[in-house]
Chains A and B, each alone.
Chain A
Amino acid sequence: MTTMTAQATQVYQLFIRATPEQIWEAITTPEFTTQYFHGSAVESTLEPGSPWNGYSTDRSELWVDGEVLEAEAPRRLQHTWRALYNPETAAEPFSRVTWEIEPQENGTTLVTVVHDRLEDSPKTAESVSGTGWMHVLSGLKTLLETGQPIAG
């Protein structure tokens, strides 16, 4: 087995049978994010320069903090990201997450997540790779296509 260092730029892409507007809403409102993003409730006004925060489902703890860099509903969202749920990742610099949402001709939408600027955040890179983003994105897809959160 090759031991690997988690990548400093990670790209995830999937098709979701939903409109860009539905996907945008699912990414930016806590009613949706708590159902697929490890229970995390996102709070943001989406103004560039304003906070991009993720709270525990009951809002008692701040799990993730960041700042909105760009928000062009419903096509493109970019924010910085730091995981506070683990002391090691909390001590690392902010990384960056970009969501690209592109409608296709067949009624599906292509969602691309680029998580980059992870060069100096190896613990964060490791924690989001593997099943990290995949769990979130397959949960997002299931939620939007079936109306039900993914089991487990």
Chain B
Amino acid sequence: MNDDDAVFKALADPTRRHLLDRLYERDGRTLTELESELEMTRFGVMKHLRVLEDAGLVVTRRAGREKQHFLNPVPIRLVHDRWIDKYTEHRVAALSDLKKRLEESA
């Protein structure tokens, strides 16, 4: 599995997207904090966090006895650059070509 696969796989789950949204609102949360907002066992939340960590979307850091979870947006940016920019630019270019052709024929 390459890096992009891991990112897409991690994002293809509503619970994991929810966890990312929670971290987007406030970073540095502990497992206990993240777990308290979900109807899921601690083990279940840990499993989802592990998938997010493996994809590089969540980075953990120790602060004293706490393990804090941070949203790392860089892999999403790289996927965006590679997979989204390319196609949206193409579409914009296609539309501007169409506009040009229509205006020329008018």
Contact = CB atoms under 8 A, between A and B. Distances in A.
Interface residues of B, number: 19
Interface in B48-99: 56, 59, 61, 70-75, 77-78, 81
Interface in A1-44: 2, 4, 7, 9-15
Contact of B61 (A2, A11, A12, A138): A11
A15 B3 contact: yes
Contacts, number: 43
Interface of A: 2, 4, 7, 9-15, 112, 114, 131, 134, 137-138, 141
Given A12-B73, A134-B73, A137-B74, A7 B56 contact: no
Contact of B27 (A11, A131, A137, A141): A11
Contacts of B61: 11, 114
B26 A11 contact: no
B3 A138 contact: no
A108 to B, nearest CB: 10
Contact of A134 (B24, B25, B59, B74): B74
